[in-house]
Amino acid sequence: MPTHEDATTATGSVTEDGDPGHQPWRDPALPVEQRVDDLMRRLTTAEKIAQLYSVWPGAGAAGEDVAPFQQDMVDADFDWAQLITDGLGQLTRPFGTAPVTPAEGMARLAGLQEAIVTAGRFGIPALVHEECLTGFTAHGATIFPTALAWGATFDPALVERMAAAIGQGMRAVGVHQGLAPVLDVSRDPRWGRTEETIGEDPYLVATVGTAYVRGLQSAGIVATLKHFAGYSASRAGRNFGPVAMGPRELSDVMLPPFELAVRDGGARSVMHSYAEIDGVPAAADRRLLTDLLRGAWGFDGTVVADYFGVTFLHSLHGVAADHGDAAGQALSAGVDVELPIVRCFGRPLRDAIAAGTVSITLVDRALRRVLRQKCELGLLDPDWAPPGPEPVDLDPPAARELARQVAEESVILLADDGVLPLRPEASIALVGPLADDTDGLFGCYTFPRHVGLHHPGLPLGVAAPTLLESLRAELPKARITHAAGCTVDGADTAGFAEAVALAREADVCVVAVGDRAGLFGKGTSGEGCDVAELRLPGVQEQLLAALLDTGTPVVAVLLTGRPYALGAVSGRLAAAVQAFFPGQEGGPAVAGVLGGRVNPSGRLPVGVPRHPGGQPAGYLAPPLGHATEVSTVDPTPLYPFGHGLSYTRFGWTGETVAEPLSCPTDGAVRVALTVRNEGDRAGTEVVQLYLHDPVAQVTRPVIRLIGYARVPLEPGQARRVAFTVPADLAAYTGREGRRIVEPGELELRFGASSADIRHTVRVRLHGPERVVGYRRRMTSDVSLTEV
């Protein structure tokens, strides 16, 4: 077996025996590094290694997978007492593995921590991690909208408040680390995990994702950026598929969200992805995890493995000869902690150290980061104790109100011929498989769809009105009839007749179609639920066509985890409403939009395709990535990135300036326009600022987002929206592989979407070409002033 970089002979060090006298590592008054140094010199090699892995109590090997290949990886008969004698680094998902009440989970966790503290010589508790993408993934915790819905809000401040609420609940029950946010930029919506992404634009993903990090960590929870990096760009949208991506696309599209979250968000942990980029798996990529993340970006937190990702270097990728080799490669690359269980970082790593093929210095490097984080979390303090027995409400009214607000801001009105809002006394046929089913509200990382589906009959644990229940509450005077018509993914069309008959008798038909999230084939969206084409699952498209044939106006409500092609029916629909898994308050939010109580302000974080094939296609493409005369495939979306309608009208007035504006390559330019609400009801416009670079060293996207602002306006009210745009936002990776800002002409385009440009300002950058790095300015400043 080859020796890993920096490998030397094993040098396990026992310098003290845990004498209960003065122990500087326990002293909160001392600097963190001094405390870590003192503890490290006391630990044996086995005790050091024990801090680098996790244990997953309750994760049986029989049929309840919530992680890839879990049945093949988990040993349900592991010896807990023996495993913790040297200490333990982490505990995996004590609340998110099986249904437990907060009180039951806290009591069990306290018992586990007591056993860990008692068994080890030094009494160091484990760091506890949980999933938290759409809220704390625990039974009875508030279920927020999925990440794609966060992107639809274009509201980082709201997402930050949401994340803080999530973190407060987690911290109250004894959790320390959350495995969120997902900062993968959506590149192919056929990928099942599209629902977990924030969108297809790196600026939107970066700004919203960084806000989530700030919110979660404000509550004392370590945020974990995932999946670093390139995971969402797998070939054909297949989960775990190889990524064919050059360094320029990686640098300019996939990495900026992680960079901003580390730099401006202060993220304390990063999870490597399952991806291989140009043949190198991320878990073994030193250039990615060490040279870039730590060397260039200055990250000093922990890098944790995606579940079983170290083992996969051997079992799936075939780049490691055995588990010891996999452990050495991962440590050398920069992975600090093996999750969710110990496989490679246990005996295989100890044996490799003894054989001299892995150096103890790699263990010490990872250990220092782990202990530093435990010290920062208070886990090394002498007065540490698990939370007390006081009752904890994981679904408090304030959190539900936040869930409602996020859901309402995320609903997107795609089209409307005037049928919406629905009349209060209308006769409404509410049909479709998701009209009276909560499945369309929850993404694959919510407790009901992640764990609950393995427990038939288990209550949701939270109040989650269906769309039918919500619309009846929203429009109490309306006559609402209901039929499902079909299931989400079944082939049976026997229910069509009832749905069609109700539609014929109604003033308007509302049909709720979309996805049912799940894991590894147990859903139509979610991890391991990829699709070959972007066609609504099952026979839902045929149901839509049958309802349209009735002649009754049809409003399509899409409750989905990805965008689906609507070109075949769009010209016949009276209206279309998109909601990406909007969470437990999603039913009232969508009903509020349909009934008019909520004026929609959501904008598409991903384009809605016209045709189900021809993927991947996205707005962030150079000229030849769009429609051309030399290809018969037209990727133009039906509804573009940033699109969304309102029940009011907005007028845009651009400011007259002497063009082009002059700006040095190290300066900034200020551009503005005025937006006025010209309708008769309050509403929120979303002003989007795009950059167009007509001539560059390499091909560039025709336009790309560099700023945005939500602009709430009362009827007749006007506000001036001003952006201060640093020249650094024009930076890109040039031919020499360096990120540069070059002199030349640019256009700053104000748009209501990426395809609806309302005002353009020409800018000329002057001065020398600049090479910019990690400290470049990555965001525009925006201000709103009353006119």
- CA–CA dist 523, 439 (Å, integer): 10
Q: What is the DSSP letter of 231?
A: G
Q: For residue 79, what pLDDT is reported?
A: 87
- The one-letter code for the residue type at 101 is T
What is the pLDDT confidence band of residue 59, given thresholds at 50, 70 and 90? confident
DSSP 705-727: EEEEEEEEE-TT-EEEEEEEEEG
Residues in the chain: 787
- CA–CA dist 126, 55 (Å, integer): 10
CB-based contact 445:495 (threshold 8 Å): no
Tell me: pLDDT of 157 over 50. Answer: yes
Tell me: pLDDT of 640 over 90. Answer: yes
List strand residue ranges (DSSP E) for 357-503, in order: 412-416, 427-431, 479-483
Tell me: pLDDT of 62 over 70. Answer: no
pLDDT tens-digit readout, 546-558: 999 999 999 999 9
Q: For residue 72, what pLDDT is reported?
A: 66
- CA–CA dist 418, 82 (Å, integer): 68
Query: What's the mean pLDDT in 535-543?
Result: 98
End-to-end CA distance of the chain: 71
Q: For residue 659, what pLDDT is reported?
A: 81
Tell me: pLDDT of 16 over 50. Answer: no
Those residues with Cβ within 8 angstroms of residue 718's Cβ, 6 or more apart along the chain or in another chain: 674, 675, 676, 677, 786, 787
The single residue listed with the structure tokens 């949701």 is 460
pTM: 0.96
Q: Is the peptide bond before 24 cis (omega within 30 degrees of 0)?
A: no
Percentage of residues in the chain having pLDDT higher than 90: 92
Compute CA 363 distance to the chain's CA centroid, rounded to the nearest angstrom. 30
List the single range of 142-156, 543-557, 603-617 with lowest mean pLDDT. 603-617
Structure tokens at 708: 């945005």
- CA–CA dist 545, 565 (Å, integer): 14
List the single range of 214-223, 284-293, 617-626 with lowest mean pLDDT. 617-626
- CA–CA dist 196, 606 (Å, integer): 12
Mark out the alpha helices in 219-340 (DSSP H runs).
Answer: 247-249, 256-263, 286, 309-315, 323-333
CB-based contact 415:573 (threshold 8 Å): yes
Query: What's the mean pLDDT in 773-785?
Result: 96
Q: For residue 776, what pLDDT is reported?
A: 97
Question: For residue 116, what is the enclosing H or E element?
Answer: helix 102-119
- CA–CA dist 467, 449 (Å, integer): 18
Query: What's the mean pLDDT in 257-263?
Result: 98
- CA–CA dist 279, 287 (Å, integer): 13
Those residues with Cβ within 8 angstroms of residue 359's Cβ, 6 or more apart along the chain or in another chain: 4, 6, 7, 8, 353
Angle at 365 between CA 361 and CA 371, to 5 degrees: 130
Mean pLDDT of the chain: 94
Those residues with Cβ within 8 angstroms of residue 273's Cβ, 6 or more apart along the chain or in another chain: 184, 226, 227, 228, 229, 230, 231, 282, 306
Query: What's the mean pLDDT in 363-379?
Result: 98
- CA–CA dist 241, 234 (Å, integer): 5
Half-sphere exposure of 769 (CA within 13 A, CB side): 10
- CA–CA dist 200, 618 (Å, integer): 7
Query: What's the mean pLDDT in 192-217?
Result: 98
pLDDT tens-digit readout, 667-686: 999 999 999 999 999 999 99
Q: For residue 488, what pLDDT is reported?
A: 98
Tell me: pLDDT of 3 over 70. Answer: no
Tell me: pLDDT of 12 over 80. Answer: no
Q: Identify the CA nearest to 440 among candidates 577, 596, 547, 640.
A: 577
What is the pLDDT confidence band of residue 707, given thresholds at 50, 70 and 90? very high
pLDDT tens-digit readout, 451-506: 998 899 999 999 999 999 999 999 999 999 999 999 999 999 999 999 999 999 99
List the single range of 150-159, 426-435, 611-620 with lowest mean pLDDT. 611-620
pLDDT tens-digit readout, 408-452: 999 999 999 999 999 999 999 999 999 999 999 999 999 999 999
What is the pLDDT confidence band of residue 60, given thresholds at 50, 70 and 90? low
pLDDT tens-digit readout, 66-112: 777 666 677 766 789 999 999 999 999 999 999 999 999 999 999 99
Higher pLDDT, 655 or 212: 212
Collapsing DSSP to helix, strand or coil, 436 comes out as: coil
Which value, to the nearest 10 degrees, does the dihedral of the CA atoms of residues 96, 102, 105, 111 take?
Answer: 150
Q: For residue 14, what pLDDT is reported?
A: 38
Tell me: pLDDT of 323 over 70. Answer: yes
DSSP 269-324: EEEE-S-EETTEEGGG-HIIIIIIIIIIT---SEEEPPTTHHHHHHHTS--SSSHH
Q: For residue 18, what pLDDT is reported?
A: 46
Structure tokens at 500: 């069609």
Tell me: pLDDT of 267 over 90. Answer: yes
Structure tokens at 566: 């609507």
Q: For residue 37, what pLDDT is reported?
A: 98
